[in-house]
Amino acid sequence: MGIIPVELYQDREDGKPAVGVRTNGPATLQDLLDAWQPLCDDASIYKQYAPDNYSVCRGCQINCCNTAYVMPDLIAVRKMAEYLKTDYRSLIERYMQVDKAEAGILQMQLPCAFLQEGICSIYPVRSLICRFYICTDILGATQQLIYSITMTGITAAAVWAEKEGLVQSMSNRGQSSFDLLLQRLLNEYRSHEQVKLFLEAENYSDIPLQPFLNP
């Protein structure tokens, strides 16, 4: 049996049980996603919104997608267009907030346009921000890793969309305080070398984890 590139483990932090990940040698973002996905079906970990706090995520009626701000990463944008058999401009105009795109931000409609009868209709190609969400406590180091990867992917999507003429350059006009905060974060991440990894990748398996573990 070969070495598992990414492993999950449980520990305690601030007096509470929490989930973390550890790598065993070279690993990719796809390896992390493969290790993370089983958490959804793991009834041994505490989940805040589960009916008895120890249930699988399938059939959850909370549907955070109704209220969550979902910003897709670059690979997800490309996979969504392919999955839906549409072009990028149509994807943005139909499923994302047009006023946000005019300010340089790719953000899904709220509630998410892909939520149909309480179920995600594009589950195999959903964004990183959706893939990583789970209503349980996560160890601080793992939480920071996930945040860094997700923000990098979101920034890459904004950089790419701007270059392709799909969104306008960032503008402060008529933006909410949340939008302004997000714009500042995106501008900060634009200078990160890891953004190039998303810009050059076709799949999550093309993105190594090491640059995010030791930025």
Say if 136 falls within a structural domain: yes
Counting the structural domains of the chain, the total is: 1
pLDDT tens-digit readout, 138-155: 999 999 999 999 999 999
Is the residue at 35 inside a domain? no
Asked if residue 18 belongs to a domain, the reply is no
Q: Is residue 154 part of a domain?
A: yes
Residue 73 lies in a domain: yes
Q: Is residue 55 part of a domain?
A: no
The verdict on residue 71 lying in a domain is yes
Contact 76, 68 (CB under 8 A): no
Q: Are 115 and 65 in contact (CB under 8 A)?
A: yes
Residue 210 is which amino acid? Q
* pTM reported for the whole predicted model: 0.92
**Spatial CB neighbours of 22, under 8 Å, sequence gap ≥ 6:** 6, 7, 9
Each residue of 3-37: pLDDT tens digit?
899 999 999 999 888 999 999 989 999 999 999 99
8 A C-beta contact, residue 24 and residue 7: yes
Q: Which domain holds residue 102?
A: 63-213
Helix 74-84 and helix 140-163: axis angle, to 10°?
60
Instruction: Decide if 11 is inside a domain.
Output: no
Q: What is the pLDDT of residues 74-107, one digit of tens each?
A: 999 999 999 999 999 999 999 999 888 888 889 9
